[in-house]
Structures are given as structure tokens and as C-alpha cells.
Amino acid sequence: MLTKQINPMIKSVLILFLFSILFFGCSRTNDQSTKVVEASIEPLQEKSPEDILKELGITVPEMSVPIASYVKYVKTGNLVFVAGHGPCSPRGKGDTGTLGKDLTVEEGYQAARRTAICLLGTIKHAAGGDLSKVKRIVRVFGMVNSAPDFNEQHKVINGASDLFLKVFGEKGKHARAAVGMASLPVNLSVEIELVVELEE
């Protein structure tokens, strides 16, 4: 009789014991999984535009002097309207000439990229020496010295757009126009102007 009473009690204790092991074991595993997930979504430290430029091996030049009767930029509120720029002097191959006649698309792309570097110098000046103050590249207007049958202006101006995206990330995404011109001042292959928004 006593044996019959003990057996159910032992069974109950064993069931409770096994249940406790399973419950607390699963809880611990879930806690560890949560910690792993939390660690994996911890935000990465963002690189500054200056850090990215250094990684790209780019030195931003000082703002150049206008070659005619205008200023390099005008600030109104938080917006900076940057005058048309070509590649900085001294100019090399691809910085002057006509796309579709004297120059290839790749040469025009590199000229637009060099022009973007010059524009960064002016933006930096407008931002008080700190490119991190750029809130957004708002608009790019690209002009390409083009032969009458040349129609790949968009690929040329990508040289500037791609650099802005690398340097500023999401802030570098912009509205854009890329148009052909019969000629540009001093036979420039590319001229680009910008609208930039700065932080408060």
C-alpha cells in the first residue's frame, strides 16, 4: 500500500524536475539569442566626409578664384548656390575639348569627377571648413561640351554624382540635369553647378 502511494509521488517529482530543466534551459537560450541579436544590430560608427576622402586619396583644394565677374557661391538661409565649376587648374587631358569629337565618355567622366573635387573645395569654404555640415546635395546641373551627335551627357556627369554619393552617402543623393552645350568657357569639357543645403 505504501509502495503504491510513493510511486505516484516520485513520478510527480520527476515530472516537475524535468519540466523545470526544460523551462529554465529554454529561457537561458532565448536570453543569449536576444543578446546576440542586439549586438548584431548595434549601429556602426559613421565615417566623416573627410575620412572617406582620405581613404580615396583625395585632397580637397582651396576654393579657386572666379575667372569673370561673379562669386563662387551665394548663401541664402541654409542653401548654398554654387557657381559653375570646371576641373581645377592646372588642367590635364580630358579637362578641355569636346565629347564625341576630342574626348571619350570615360575621359569626360574623369573630368566631371575632378570638377566635383573642385566643387568640394568651394562647399567646404561655404560650410566654414567642415564638410560634415553638409545636410544634402540638393541639385546638380551638369553641362557637357558636346559634338552635335553626342548623346551620353548623363554618363559623363556620373563622374561627379558618383563621387558625391561616395563622400556623403544618403546625403549625396540629388536631383540632376545633364545637358549638352555647343561650347563652354575656355573650351572646358565639363562645367557643373550645385545647390547644397547646410545644417543649422
Amino acid at 68: A
What's the pLDDT score for residue 40? 38
What's the pLDDT score for residue 45? 45
Residue-range domain boundaries for the chain = 1-42, 49-198
Asked if pLDDT for residue 86 goes beyond 70, the answer is yes
Among 36-40, 79-83, 101-105, where is mean pLDDT lowest?
Answer: 36-40
Angle at 87 between CA 81 and CA 88, to 5 degrees: 95
Q: Distance between CA 166 and CA 43 in Å, rounded?
A: 19
Give the count of alpha carbons within 13 A of 54, CB side only: 6
How do residues 118-160 score in pLDDT, each as one tens digit?
A: 999 999 999 999 999 999 999 999 999 999 999 999 999 999 9
Asked if pLDDT for residue 42 goes beyond 60, the answer is no
pLDDT band at 90 (very low <50, low <70, confident <90, very high): confident
What's the pLDDT score for residue 183? 97
pLDDT band at 100 (very low <50, low <70, confident <90, very high): very high
pLDDT band at 44 (very low <50, low <70, confident <90, very high): very low
Looking at residue 133, what DSSP letter applies?
G
How many residues are listed for the chain in this entry?
Answer: 200
Q: Distance between CA 116 and CA 133 in Å, rounded?
A: 17
Asked if pLDDT for residue 89 goes beyond 90, the answer is no
Going through the chain in order, the beta strands assigned E by DSSP cover 73-76, 79-85, 134-145, 175-181, 190-198
| DSSP codes joined into one string, 166-197 | HHHGGGG--EEEEEEES--GGGBSEEEEEEEE
How do residues 14-36 score in pLDDT, each as one tens digit?
A: 555 555 544 445 444 444 443 43
pLDDT band at 9 (very low <50, low <70, confident <90, very high): low
pLDDT band at 91 (very low <50, low <70, confident <90, very high): confident
Q: What is the mean pLDDT of residues 63-83?
A: 96
Instruction: Supply the mean pLDDT for the chain.
Output: 85
Spell out the CATH class of 49-198: alpha beta
